[in-house]
Amino acid sequence: MDKETAASRLAELRELIHEHNYYYHVLDEPRISDAKFDMLMKELLELEKLYPELVTDDSPSQRLGGAPLATFPEVRHIVPMLSLENAFSEGEVKAFYRRLQKNLGLEQITLVGEPKIDGLAVSLYYEKGKFVRGATRGDGERGEEITANLRTIRSLPLRLRKNFTMEVRGEVYMPLLGFERLNREREEAGLSLFANPRNAAAGSLRQLDPVVAAQRPLDLFVYGMVQLDGERLNSQWEILNLLKEVGFKVNEHVRILNNLQEAMDYYEYMRALRATLPYEIDGVVLKVNELVYQQAVGYTSRVPRWAIAYKFTAEEGITRILDITVNVGRTGVITPLAELEPLLLSGSVIKRASLHNEGMIREKDVMIGDTVIVHKAGEVIPQIVRVLKEKRNGEERPFSMPEQCPSCGKKIYRFPGEAALRCLNPACPAQVVERIVHFASRGAMDISGLGEALAINLYRAGLVKDVGDLYTLTLDDLSRLERMGKKSAENLLNALERSKENPLHRLIYALGIRLVGERAARLLAAHFGSLPRLAAASWEELVALKEIGPQIAASLQDFFGQQETKNVLQKLEKAGVNFREPEPQGEEELLTRNLEGMNFVLTGTLQHLTREQAREMIEAQGGKVLSSVSRNINYLIVGEKPGSKLEKALKLGIKVLKEEEMLQMLDGSARARS
Binding residues for ligand IVH, per CB under 6 A?
Answer: 82-84, 114, 116-117, 121, 137, 171, 223-224, 285, 304, 307, 309
Please say which residue, 290 or 434, places its beta carbon nearer to ligand IVH. Answer: 290
Sheet holding 219-228, edge to edge: 130-136, 120-127, 166-173, 219-228
Question: Is residue 129 helix, strand or coil?
Answer: coil
The smaller minimum CB distance to ligand IVH, of residues 347 and 642, is found at 347
Shortest distance, CB of residue 195 to ligand IVH, whole angstroms? Answer: 18
Decide: 316 and 374 in contact? Cβ < 8 Å: yes
- H-type helices in 22-89, by residue range? 34-50
What b/e sequence results for 443-475 when a residue is b if at least 16 CB atoms lie within 10 Å of its CB, and e otherwise? ebbbbeebeeebbbbbbeeebbebbbbbbebee
CB of 170 to ligand IVH, least distance (A): 8
Positive or negative: CA dihedral 291, 293, 297, 303: negative
Annotation says 162 is catalytic = no
Return the number of the residue (250 or 338) whose C-beta is nearest ligand IVH.
250
DSSP assignment letter at 24: I
Smallest gap from Cβ 364 to ligand IVH, in A, equals: 35
Which of the 8 DSSP states describes residue 191?
P
Instruction: Judge whether 226 and 167 are in contact, CB under 8 Å.
Output: yes
Burial class of residue 583 (count of CB atoms within 10 Å of its CB; 0-12, 13-18, 19+) = exposed
- Burial label for 35, CB within 10 Å (0-12, 13-18, 19+), is exposed
Q: Where are the beta strands (DSSP E) in 107-209?
A: 111-117, 120-127, 130-136, 142-144, 166-173
- Residue 515 Cα distances to 240, 340, 505, 520, 611, angstroms: 51, 31, 14, 8, 15
Min CB(505)–ligand IVH separation in Å: 29
Phi, psi of 531 (to 5 degrees): -65, -45
Q: How far is the CB of 88 from ligand IVH (least distance, A)?
A: 13
CB of 298 to ligand IVH, least distance (A): 12
Question: From the CA atom positions of the chain, what is the Rg in Å?
Answer: 28
Can you say whether the dihedral through the CA atoms of 161, 167, 168, 172 is positive or negative?
Answer: positive
Complex with ligand IVH: residue 85 or 587, whichever CB lies closer? 85
Element (H, E) at 219: strand 219-228
CB of 255 to ligand IVH, least distance (A): 12
Distance (Å, whole) CA 614 – CA 360: 24
Q: d(Cα 422, Cα 403) in Å, to the nearest integer? A: 10
Residue nearest to ligand IVH (CB): 121
CB of 251 to ligand IVH, least distance (A): 7
Pairing type for strands 655-658 and 635-638 reads: parallel
Give whichever of 84 and 344 is closer to ligand IVH, judged by the CB atom: 84
Contact at 8 Å (CB) between 289 and 298?
no
Residue type at position 600:
F
- Rounded to the nearest whole angstrom, what is the least distance from the CB of residue 287 to ligand IVH in the complex? 7
Three-state SS at 374:
strand
Among the listed residues 49, 116, 249, 410, the single catalytic one is 116
Nearer to ligand IVH, 118 or 466 (CB): 118
Distance CA 91, CA 260 (A): 11
Spatial distance between the Cα atoms of 373 and 323, rounded to a whole number of angstroms: 15
CB closer to ligand IVH, 243 vs 450: 243
User: Between residues 118 and 434, which has the closer beta carbon with respect to ligand IVH?
Assistant: 118
Please identify, using beta-carbon distances, which residue of 61 and 136 lies nearer to ligand IVH: 136
Please list the active-site residues. 116
